[in-house]
Chains A and B, each alone.
Chain A
Amino acid sequence: MHIVVCVKPVPNPEIAPSVFRLDEEAKKIALLPGVSLVINPFDEQAVEAALCIRENSEDSDTVSITVLTMGENSSKKVIKHALALGVDKGVTLENSAFENSDSYAIAHALAAAIQKLDPVDLVLAGRQAVDTDAGIVGLGIAEILKLPAITLAKDIKMSGNEINVDRAVGDGTETMTTKLPAVVTVAHEFGAVRHPNLRETMRANKKPIETWGPEDIGVEIGSMGQVGLRRVVERIYQPVRKVDCEWLTGDDPTAVAKILAAKLAEEKFI
């Protein structure tokens, strides 16, 4: 069984809002010092899901996991992180032709790469990326490859040629079932992710990372990047959000708590 996990490098969401700046010309975040690119947290959960599937498999030796990503420079760091978690192989789509691609072009490039990686039984991705917050690409891959898709997985069980997915749908439990090959997107409800250990990190250095360009996956350069845009960012700006904090102080916790309780009562919260 071959699982491909699609991962995206994103600006570290754990930064303080005060270091967040936009490059209005480039219409994206300004990567100032201190703003590093990390694996999209939802995609990290998808990697975790792949590793769990392998661990729970009766025949875990036959399960191989490939991570697939796109982007310059940072993508290798993201792949190495996944390899150190136990993934077997990494592929990155790196070429200037891919730069500034929209979700439509990205999904087509990733789908083409997945076809090149065939046979693939399961494609996993996070439910969405935390920078663009859209959740388009994973589902796009499913449509392009004509595969069934299930979103928002919080638990995945394999049973022969079938996959059973418990979904995080808010108002209870829902299980969906489909036949492999399939695309599944993973929600944060899947649970905590593992961290790289020393042994796997050492092993990761010996694992293969391949770099592919448009010609390797057979996509036309004219359909990618800036020239292929179907979705145009006209403008990007930082919304003004100004709140003046009223500091509540007093001699001891009880005194401050009294003031806060009074404020809450004033605003009719209690």
Chain B
Amino acid sequence: MIAKPILVVIELEGGTPSGNSLELLAAAKVIANDPGNIVAVCLSDEIGENIDSELSSCGADKVILIDDPMFEPYQADAWVSELAVLSAELKPETILFPHSLAGAESAPRLAFRLNTAVVMACMSAERVNGTVHWTRSCYGGNAHEVISLNTTPAIATITAKSFDLLPINRDPVPVVENRLAVTKASDIRARVTVKSPGTDTGMNLENAEIVVSGGGGIGGPTQFEKLGELADLLSGAVGASRVACDLGWCPPSWQVGLSGKTVAPKLYIAIGISGAVHHLAGCHNSGTIVAINMDPEAEIFKSARFGVVADCNEFLPALIQEIQNHYSK
């Protein structure tokens, strides 16, 4: 008997698979019971050439390409209805999504449409006595939970950078199937009516390599100008704690934390931030944390590589000056 397939939903960016999507193939390999049953599916109106060999060289045993204008722009209704039909036909054991904007909304909806369960934002997976155990973070990163799902198909979204790409198979033999979409226009009930690139200042936060964040301890909205100066100097982005956002010192889109954005820059400078669970949840995966706070007992220092106990009104100008000195050397 051929094992039930693992269906991997590949998200395309400009016609090519997103990095996180390729990592899904590695996740699929980890949980695959039998070789030969990893099926990658692309839903797009712009499927690049050679995508079949790229996906099979990264671990897909079979590639299904559904090239249809129905999928541009991306709308969850189209994904969910197309994947529900495909799933009814292929009867996969597991369906994997990237934990992207699209995956985070399509996966739960598909789960309910197929009357099955879903586990979100998984960081690792292993097969234990035939059952897949998924590990994910909860309580703002303060706990990890290990989850199993007892209905099929099991649906999971996978957090980016959780799985290393498989070694490239340089001589892939892609098995490709081109299909037409079965989704009808009437299946799309919530439509994208306006789509435009924006200039929201908070938008670089999640991708920035350096983030400078301010909290209630910085003293007021004008201090965010100083933070901006420091961030510009470091080619970084400005973030904030919930306290600072709630006080109206900065736009809500700057918020880092449980009810805000999750960032993982190489360097995170936390200024006047006490370090509640709420905030650390959004930044604890940063490479290096530098904490600057008046209170030596502040929790943030427990997560910090470097700590400075200082009044940021005095320290910030000095730090900006010293970094300028460094650059002008």
User: Which of B25-33, B63-71, B163-171, B276-284 is found at the contact surface with chain A?
Assistant: B276-284
11 A-B Cβ contacts within 8 A?
A22-B143, A102-B117, A131-B138, A171-B198, A179-B189, A188-B260, A230-B151, A243-B289, A245-B307, A254-B321, A265-B326
A-side interface mostly:
mixed
Distance in angstroms between the alpha carbons of A142 and B147 in the assembled complex: 24
User: Which of B42-50, B52-60, B176-184, B246-254 is found at the contact surface with chain A?
Assistant: B246-254
A29 and B143 contact, CB distance less than 8 A: yes
A143 and B113 contact, CB distance less than 8 A: yes
Residues in chain B near residue A168, CB distance under 8 A: 253
> A17 with B277: in contact, given A22-B143, A175-B192, A247-B307 (CB under 8 Å)?
yes
B-side interface mostly:
mixed
Question: When A and B form their complex, which 10 residue pairs have the shortest distance between CB atoms, in order from nearest?
Answer: A143-B112, A172-B198, A257-B318, A175-B194, A148-B189, A41-B259, A230-B117, A261-B322, A13-B278, A178-B190
Shortest CB distance B131–A (Å): 9
Which residue of chain A has its CB nearest to the CB of B151? A230
Distance in angstroms between the alpha carbons of A264 and B38 in the assembled complex: 45
B321 and A257 contact, CB distance less than 8 A: yes
Looking at chain A, what size class is its interface with the partner chain?
35 or more
B307 and A169 contact, CB distance less than 8 A: no
Of residues 284 through 329 on chain B, the ones whose CB sits less than 8 Å from some CB of chain A are: 284, 288-291, 299, 301-310, 314-315, 317-319, 321-323, 325-327
Interface residues of B, Cβ cutoff 8 Å to A: 76-77, 101, 104-105, 108-109, 111-113, 116-121, 133, 137-151, 189-198, 200, 203, 206, 210, 234, 242, 245-246, 248, 252-253, 255, 257-260, 266-267, 274-278, 280-281, 284, 288-291, 299, 301-310, 314-315, 317-319, 321-323, 325-327
> A248 with B306: in contact, given A173-B195, A261-B319 (CB under 8 Å)?
yes
- A37 interface residue, CB < 8 Å from B? no
> A134 with B121: in contact, given A232-B150, A264-B323 (CB under 8 Å)?
yes
Given contacts A191-B252, A235-B146, 5 further A-B contacts (CB under 8 A): A130-B281, A164-B193, A188-B255, A192-B252, A237-B143
Pick from A102, A172, A177, A188: contact of B197, CB under 8 Å: A172
A253 and B145 contact, CB distance less than 8 A: no
> A139 with B305: in contact, given A42-B259, A149-B76 (CB under 8 Å)?
no
Distance in angstroms between the alpha carbons of A132 and B144 in the assembled complex: 10
Shortest CB distance A216–B (Å): 23
B303 and A192 contact, CB distance less than 8 A: no
Scoring A residues 138 to 182 as 1 if CB is less than 8 Å from chain B, else 0, what string do you get?
Answer: 011011100011111000000000001000111111111111001
> A130 with B234: in contact, given A16-B277, A20-B277, A241-B303 (CB under 8 Å)?
no
